[in-house]
Amino acid sequence: MARHGGGRGWYGKLIGAALGVTLLATGASLWTAQAGVADGVPPKAAASARPAAVKKVSESIEHASDKGPRGVNITIDDGPDPSWTPQMLDVLKERGVKATFCMVGTQAQAYPDLVKKVVAAGHQLCNHSLSHDTAMDRKPESYQAKQILDAERLITKASGGVRPLYYRAPGGAFTPFSRKTAAARGMRPLGWNVDTKDFERPGSDAIVATVQRELPNGPTVLLHDAGGDRSQTVEALRRILPWLREQGYSTGFPVR
Q: Which residues have C-beta within 8 Å of that of residue 226, sequence separation ≥ 6?
A: 7, 10, 77, 78, 79, 80, 81, 84, 85, 104, 107
Which pTM does this prediction carry?
0.82
Helix 112-120 and helix 141-159: axis angle, to 10°? 70
Which one of the listed residues 77, 78, 81, 133 is annotated catalytic?
Answer: 77
The count of other CB atoms within 10 Å of the CB of residue 92 is: 23
CA angle 157, 145, 125 (to 5 degrees): 40
Concerning whether 224 is annotated as a catalytic residue, the answer is yes
Concerning whether 66 is annotated as a catalytic residue, the answer is no
Which one of the listed residues 81, 195, 224, 225 is annotated catalytic?
Answer: 224
- Low-confidence stretches of the chain (pLDDT < 50) are 7-51
pLDDT recorded at residue 41? 34
Q: Give me the residue spans of the domains in the chain.
A: 59-252
CATH topology (fold) of 59-252 = TIM Barrel (3.20.20)
pLDDT recorded at residue 2? 63
